[in-house]
A and B are shown apart, each in its own frame.
Chain A
């Protein structure tokens, strides 16, 4: 019984992480029609930043790292968007290729800077003690992670639905030409959304650190999961990313636990079903 509970919690925390990762990806794709293949690398960069900073300075606050790494990665993303992506407005294929190229650059830079061994990220002191509920023992950090993901989801929802910025983003997602026509500063919006997406991914990387550790290849492990979440949940849909993340979180965690060799196939199947019967994803509105 403990096994199922633990795996269930692991699923939820993975789902939460995936949501943080894929919400940015989905927003960027929905607004900018860009499949940002650098997204896994942004996540990994966050993890590495946290891992090395906390290894170098003992007692550094994880939450501080979340914000610092989030901003650092957001800044990098913004530079990339301004210097490279804006030059390729008429070349959508080129945009995808440069994000791929950028992901290679970042992942190799990480390898160069931090070597091939995995670097753990320490769990915050006050969350290290396990929580006891109904006689079951839960790793506290994971509970907190799930809570944070829900908070982030609500925050993003409020941002999109209740703020002017969110209205502009939604307008751009629905009808770019119209949005331009009514005077929405599309170019700046793109940069902002890309920074937001990258920043959330970096922050997610820090949050995932205590669970995953920083290791080379983390980006290549996370990116396909984000892709599958977005394919499943539908592009441009926050709700889709939310639902999809937890579905994939469960499937992946239980799959690895029960059938470690077949985990990828189990991941594969719901994606095939969704694509076969509902190519726009469960909640998607934007055509791919």
Chain B
């Protein structure tokens, strides 16, 4: 990746607490959370070639477990986080076994069905999840005794987690395993003939993606201090998928950019429009029909063309 671009983006991520007011700092925090979520989904979509419409399951389940443990059973945040992520990973392992009995559209349908079932459960099991009321009155953790209640402190926390997430996923994707994942995405039969176990490679990636989805879920609930079944909905999964595709699933950073754009659009649109879903649907149509490869690759081509012309 272009070092100048990386430095610019990295630099601009450090700016909000110094330049912006609370509203924008909070917005920036939300962008970071959405970015982690989109990046985790892209491990599946872009690098694994597995399009899932049920990724919100991992965000939602991690958030709900943390919410329940801290608010109802008096767990501390640290323990709740560990149990929550472990539970999410176990669920991802289980769902992965089911979903990976198929590939392509069958996989998509199964992930969608599974996630809709969870969503339905969240609504109906109201004595556990509080159903349509959601779970409120939650608190943010205080790692090493530092409070995260102010927008600025939460932003730094989110930035640290997002940076770790980005680096970890970059390392993962560039590693030998990452190469084998991309190989399985492109030529699964060939890879099997070479000695790779395609199912195990896909399943491992599925679980890893679920892990980071769960991390995004924890950040989500720490930020909002509230969880509602909508977070498990297909709209939630679809927003993440749109971010991935709009940003460009073939790149590392693209999904983060796409997620940021979707979030900004949602925020600004909701000020003028009541119907976010309709706008989301129209944006889907637009992106798929007009720029299927996403914005970031398009931008990359543009800068390459500009550089080419200079020479």
Could you tell me if B281 and A231 are in contact, using CB atoms closer than 8 angstroms?
no
> Secondary structure of the A side of the interface?
helix
Report if A92-B105 is in contact (Cβ < 8 Å); known contacts: A100-B238, A112-B278.
yes
B72-123 interface with A by 8 A CB criterion:
98, 101-110, 112-114, 116-118, 120-121
Question: A108 and B285 in contact (CB under 8 A), knowing A94-B292, A272-B98, A276-B101?
Answer: no
Q: Does A189 contact B (CB under 8 A)?
A: no
Q: Which of A91, A96, A264 is in CB contact (< 8 Å) with B120?
A: A264
A101 contacts B288, CB within 8 Å? yes
Which chain B residues border A94 with CB–CB below 8 Å?
288-289, 292
Q: Is the CB of A261 within 8 A of B281?
A: no
Residues of B within 8 A of A76 (CB): none
Is B117 within 8 A of A265, CB to CB?
yes
Most buried by A among B51, B109, B233, B242: B109
Q: Is the CB of A35 within 8 A of B121?
A: no
Q: Which of B217-237 contact A (CB under 8 A)?
A: 233-235
A224 contact from B108, B113, B292, Cβ within 8 A: B113
Query: Which residues in window 144-182 of B have CB below 8 A to A?
Result: none
Chain A residues within 8 Å of B242, by CB: 97
Q: Report the minimal beta-carbon distance from B71 to chain A, rounded to whole angstroms.
A: 20
Whether B303 sits at the interface, judged by CB under 8 Å, is: no
Considering the chains assembled together, what is the distance between the CA atoms of A272 and B245 in angstroms? 29
- The answer to whether the Cβ of B69 comes within 8 Å of any Cβ in the partner chain is no
Task: Give B57 Cβ to nearest chain A Cβ, in Å.
Answer: 12
How far, in whole Å, are A105 and B242 apart by their CA atoms in the complex?
A: 15
- Contact present for B113 and A227 (CB under 8 Å): yes
Which of B109, B114, B127, B280 is the one whose CB lies under 8 Å from A261?
A: B127
A224-B116, A231-B110, A271-B113 known; A104+B105 contact, CB < 8 A: no
**When the two chains form their complex, are residues B105 and A97 in contact, meaning their CB atoms are under 8 A apart?**
no
A268–B242 Cα distance when bound, in Å, is 27
Interface string of A102-131 (1 = CB under 8 A from B): 111101110110000000000000000000
Which residues of B, 276-294, contact A by the 8 Å Cβ criterion?
276-278, 280-285, 288-289, 292
On whether A104 and B277 interact (CB within 8 A), knowing A264-B120, A275-B101, A275-B102, the answer reads: yes
Give the docked Cα–Cα distance between A223 and B109 (Å): 11
Chain A residue contacts of B142, Cβ below 8 A: none
Give the nearest-CB partner of A103 in chain B: B281
- Which B residues touch A262, using CB under 8 A? 125
User: How far is it, in angstroms, between the C-alpha of A189 and the C-alpha of B117 when the chains are bound?
Assistant: 34
Which of B102, B110, B285, B292 touches A102 (beta carbons < 8 Å)?
A: B285
B59 lies within 8 A of chain A by Cβ: no
**Chain A's nearest CB lies how many Å from the CB of B91?**
13
Whether A111 lies near B105 (C-beta < 8 A) is no
User: In the bound complex, what is the Cα–Cα distance between A279 and B109 (angstroms)?
Assistant: 12
| A84 in contact (CB, < 8 A) | yes
Q: Using Cβ atoms and an 8 Å threshold, which residues of chain B touch A224?
A: 112-113, 116-117, 120
Taking a contact as CB atoms under 8 Å apart, the answer to whether B288 and A275 are in contact is no
Is B36 in contact with chain A by the CB < 8 A criterion? Answer: no
Whole-angstrom distance from the CB of B275 to the nearest CB of chain A?
Answer: 4
- Choose one: B101, B106, B125, B241; the contact of A97 (CB below 8 Å): B241
Q: In whole angstroms, what is the CA distance A229 to B153 when docked?
A: 48
Contact, CB under 8 Å: A98 / B288: yes
Given A264-B124, A268-B117, A33 contacting B289 (CB threshold 8 A):
no
Known: A94-B292, A272-B98, A275-B110. A104 touches B121 (CB 8 A): no
Bound Cα distance from A105 to B273, whole angstroms: 14
Contact with A along B1-24 (1 / 0, CB 8 A): 000000000000000000000000
Q: Does B53 contact A (CB under 8 A)?
A: yes
Across-interface contacts of A103 in B (CB, < 8 A): 281
Q: Which residues of chain A are near B235, meaning CB under 8 Å?
A: 104
CA distance A271 to B99 in the complex (A): 11
B-contacting residues, A216-234, CB 8 Å:
220, 223-224, 227-228, 230-231
List of A residues within 8 angstroms of B120 by Cβ:
224, 263-264
Question: What's the least CB distance linking B293 to chain A, in Å?
Answer: 10
- Some 24 contacts from A to B, beta carbons below 8 A apart, are A34-B105, A35-B105, A88-B288, A94-B289, A94-B292, A96-B51, A96-B105, A97-B241, A100-B234, A101-B282, A101-B285, A104-B235, A112-B275, A224-B116, A227-B112, A261-B126, A261-B127, A263-B124, A264-B121, A268-B117, A276-B101, A279-B101, A288-B106, A288-B109
Contact residues of B with A, CB < 8 Å?
A: 51, 53, 98, 101-110, 112-114, 116-118, 120-121, 124-127, 233-235, 238, 241-242, 245, 274-278, 280-285, 288-289, 292
Q: Which 9 A-B pairs have the closest CB atoms?
A: A288-B106, A101-B284, A104-B281, A108-B278, A105-B281, A224-B116, A101-B281, A264-B120, A279-B101
